[in-house]
């Protein structure tokens, strides 16, 4: 069974949303909480499983599909939006923070896309949303956002969200790109991914970029974001009242010592 052939329009610049156009009986799946608005003949249903409709009919099959999503830190549930009317209907999904929504045609990407666990926004019914395990222990223990990645499989449209500016890079065979683990948004199935240690005590304590970063090797495509959610949240938290304030330089060692002396 192929994916539903949905139409779409991406609207906005920095805070985008995607408007999906559904023919009669067509369905789009989305993360819980992603909905922005929908027209009157769109019916919303909470579902278990991977969202593809192919995970089996028994309750155990559905629970297993939902349980795999929990490992990525996502909700146990997904939401299906179906046009139950006779004409065209529309449903819109909003980006969770400033950035770009990317439309990925899985039929043009080898039927599979690997992406960060919080990147998926919505997809045509028939697209499977699962997890992609990485075997190496280094990826498991030190990968941060990149350990358990989501995989989107099928032949339909899927929409992912990335923060800030998004860059698409086409890697040649053997070409290597080193990326902050939070900045790697997505990659095609043939890209090899690993975690690399940044050696040296100075890099560890004063580099500011973390001790590990992602290494991707071509061939294949990768998408990189300039503003990962973890970085945005860290900046907002550090600027909040009661943290990093009080006239001390927030980004310096002296600022941290001042907060410690103040008991914060």
Q: Which CATH class is domain 7-234?
A: alpha beta
pLDDT at 65: 53
pLDDT digits (tens, 9 = 90+) for 160-172: 999 989 999 999 9
What distance in Å separates the CA atoms of residue 67 and residue 57, rounded to the nearest whole number?
16
Least confident of 78-82, 208-212, 250-254: 250-254
pLDDT of residue 122: 95
pLDDT at 41: 97
DSSP state of 255: H
Please give the mean pLDDT across all residues of the chain.
78
Question: Counting Cβ atoms within 10 Å, is residue 248 exposed (0-12), middle (13-18) or buried (19+)?
Answer: middle
User: Mind listing the pLDDT tens digit for each residue in 25-74?
Assistant: 999 999 888 899 999 999 999 887 666 665 555 555 555 555 555 555 55
Residues 66 and 56 sit within 8 Å (Cβ to Cβ): no
Lowest mean pLDDT among 79-83, 101-105, 252-256: 252-256
Query: pLDDT category, 253, cuts 50, 70, 90?
Result: very low
CA angle centred on 176, ends 110 and 186, rounded to 5°: 40
Domain boundaries, the chain: 7-234
| DSSP-assigned letter for residue 107 | G
| 9 has a pLDDT exceeding 50 | yes
Percent of the chain with pLDDT over 90: 45
């Amino acid at each position: 069974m192929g994916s539903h052939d949905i139409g779409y329009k991406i609207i906005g610049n920095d805070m985008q949303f995607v408007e999906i156009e559904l023919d009669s009986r067509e369905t789009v799946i989305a993360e819980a909480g992603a909905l922005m608005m929908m027209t009157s003949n769109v019916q919303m249903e909470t579902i278990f499983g991977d969202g593809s409709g192919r995970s089996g009919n028994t309750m155990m099959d559905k629970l297993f599909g939902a349980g795999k999503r929990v490992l990525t830190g996502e909700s146990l549930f997904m939401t299906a939006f179906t046009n139950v009317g006779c004409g065209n209907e529309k449903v819109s999904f909003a980006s969770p923070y400033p950035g770009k929504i990317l439309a990925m045609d899985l039929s043009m990407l080898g039927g599979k896309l690997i992406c960060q666990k919080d990147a998926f926004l919505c997809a045509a019914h028939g697209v499977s949303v699962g997890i992609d395990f990485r075997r190496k222990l280094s990826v498991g223990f030190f990968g941060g956002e990149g350990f358990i990645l989501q995989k989107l499989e099928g032949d339909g449209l899927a929409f992912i969200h990335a923060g800030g500016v998004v860059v698409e890079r086409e890697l040649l065979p053997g070409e290597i790109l080193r990326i902050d683990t939070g900045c790697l948004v997505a990659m095609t199935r043939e890209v090899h991914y690993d975690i690399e240690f940044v050696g040296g005590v100075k890099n560890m304590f004063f580099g500011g970029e973390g001790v590990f970063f992602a290494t991707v090797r071509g061939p294949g495509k990768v998408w990189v974001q300039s503003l990962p959610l973890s970085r945005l949240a860290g900046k907002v938290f550090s600027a909040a009242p009661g943290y990093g304030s009080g006239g001390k330089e927030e980004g310096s060692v002296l600022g941290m010592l001042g907060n410690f002396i103040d008991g914060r």
